[in-house]
Amino acid sequence: MAKRIMVIFGTRPEAIKLFPVIAALKEADGLEPIVLVTGQHREMLDQVLEIAGLVPDHDLALMQPGQSLDEISARLLTGIGGVLDSEKPDMVIVQGDTATAMCGALAAYYRKLPVAHVEAGLRSGNIYHPWPEEVNRKIIGGFADLHFAPTETAAHALRREAVADDKILVTGNTVVDALHWVTARLAEDPSRAAVIAPVEARFAGKRIIGVTTHRRENFGSGMDDIAHAIRDLAARDDVAIIFPVHLNPQVRAAMLPILVGLDNVALLEPLDYLNFTRLLQIADLMLTDSGGVQEEAPALGKPVLVMRDTTERPEGVVAGTAKLVGTDRATIVAEATRLLDDSTAYAAMAQAHNPFGDGHSSGRIARAISGWFSAPERHQSN
Ligand code: UD1
Ligand code: UDP
């Protein structure tokens, strides 16, 4: 009988990084994926489900506007637990560091179900940056049965925390699988980027800065500084800002009053993955506090200024495509201005490197899970 693998996710980045894994599980002999979405996000999750053609087996539809960490976590734990009790899967897969991932793993552990963690081992070393994701990821790493580390750096962090070597596999990051898939769709049919196309036409001839921001630890003065830095940069005639604004009401409250109505700024609703990838392609540089964008920009050779003080993804910085600039207004403006005005500095960062994977991570993950079930003696030690 096929082993039933419950894949649990709830937010946009988890969906992007797990749809290739679900496809690989479907292709693997002896494995049957069951898809449980928590609906921690709604519109932003549905955009990915639609593009990937994924129809979940379960949808808990848990999102509430402006949800606190306590509220969403409590709903997640009981909601996921109920589905695990009715479905009784053979294994649970979670991805990354969200509340859905942490609660999905915990609910599985409470039922003594094996847990596989995709994108394991990322560490900033600071429990408040990213907050609460650093601790979410560590909690999962404390008891997962299979740790799929995207890079050797991540695997090393797990070994330092005494995770047994035979539970760790360096797979690359499945975001590169997703990016290859979406880039191929765009190449087949560029008209799929229909949301970005008119914005691209409006800003023809200008240098494009793509922006995303949403991190909870930046709420307050950090977001305020980011908004003012964007406003400062938009004062340049030769620059245009394309900014799909996250649906978190706190992000909107910080950004919209400062940026609405500026000629050189296009404030957009969250873009589907095809349109966002097109934005990455046309951008001269990205300003972001996103995890996923830090991984995608290097793959496309786009300089990325990371509006954070630390990162759990140092590979882009080491490769030279990413730079940490924090959230100070003057620093963001100075660093972006340097890239816009100094072609040598720009060329040094605009190198296509792909430290995060080769686009075949999902197949490795599916094969490792098959192998885990066919070698039960290897996992008696938990
Ligand atoms: C969550 C994750 C974060 C991840 C981010 C990706 C946690 C604690 N945080 O942060 O790790 O980087 O997703 O974007 O798990 N909203 C909508 N529609 C949507 C999505 C969000 O309206 O489709 C609004 C809602 O008001 C919601 C709020 O955004 O309450 C916050 O969503 P939530 O998932 O709690 O946190 P994020 O900041 O999105
Ligand atoms: N993304 C998207 N549309 C957007 C903004 C981002 O599809 O308008 C994608 C982006 O390509 C990346 C992912 O969403 O793969 C990042 O999600 P987010 O920044 O919300 O979360 P994080 O990666 O920081 O957890």
Strand duo 3-9 + 31-37: pairing: parallel
Please check whether residues 226 and 133 belong to one and the same domain: no
Please report whether residue 211 resides in a domain.
yes
What single string gives the DSSP state of each residue in 265-333? EEEEPPPPHHHHHHHHHH-SEEEE--HHHHHHHHHTT--EEE-SS--S-THHHHHTSEEE--S-HHHHH
Distance 187 CA to ligand 1 centre (A): 30
Please check whether residues 144 and 216 belong to one and the same domain: no
Please report whether residue 183 resides in a domain.
no
Distance 46 CA to ligand 1 centre (A): 13
Please check whether residues 199 and 346 belong to one and the same domain: yes
Please check whether residues 265 and 371 belong to one and the same domain: no
Please check whether residues 201 and 332 belong to one and the same domain: yes
Please check whether residues 94 and 216 belong to one and the same domain: no
Please report whether residue 184 resides in a domain.
no
CB of residue 135 inside a 6 A radius of ligand 1? no
> Domain count of the chain?
2
Please check whether residues 330 and 233 belong to one and the same domain: yes
Please check whether residues 288 and 362 belong to one and the same domain: no
Known catalytic residues are: 97, 119, 133, 214, 216, 246
Q: Which residues line ligand 2 (CB under 6 A)?
A: 12-13, 16, 175, 212, 214, 244, 270-271, 273, 276, 290-293, 296
What's the domain range around 342? 194-350
Tell me the C-alpha distance between 217 and 128, whole Å.
7
CB atoms inside a 10 Å sphere around CB 191: 8
pLDDT tens, position by position, for the chain (382 residues)?
899 999 999 999 999 999 999 999 999 999 999 999 999 999 999 999 999 999 999 999 999 999 999 999 999 999 999 999 999 999 999 999 999 999 999 999 999 999 999 999 999 999 999 999 999 999 999 999 999 999 999 999 999 999 999 999 999 999 999 999 999 999 999 999 999 999 999 999 999 999 999 999 999 999 999 999 999 999 999 999 999 999 999 999 999 999 999 999 999 999 999 999 999 999 999 999 999 999 999 889 999 999 999 999 999 999 899 999 999 999 999 999 999 999 999 999 998 778 999 999 999 999 999 999 998 665 655 5
Please report whether residue 187 resides in a domain.
no
Residues 254/223, Cβ–Cβ less than 8 Å? yes
Ligand 1 nearest atom to the CA of residue 96, by list position: 11
CATH of the domain at 234: 3.40.50.2000
Note the pTM of the prediction, 2 decimals: 0.98
Please check whether residues 132 and 74 belong to one and the same domain: yes
Please check whether residues 157 and 226 belong to one and the same domain: no
Distance 332 CA to ligand 2 centre (A): 20
Please check whether residues 20 and 127 belong to one and the same domain: yes
CA distances from 92 to 30, 31, 83 (A): 15, 12, 12
Tell me the C-alpha distance between 218 and 206, whole Å.
29
For residue 310 the two structure tokens come to: 């630390």
Please check whether residues 224 and 340 belong to one and the same domain: yes
Tell me the C-alpha distance between 206 and 181, whole Å.
29
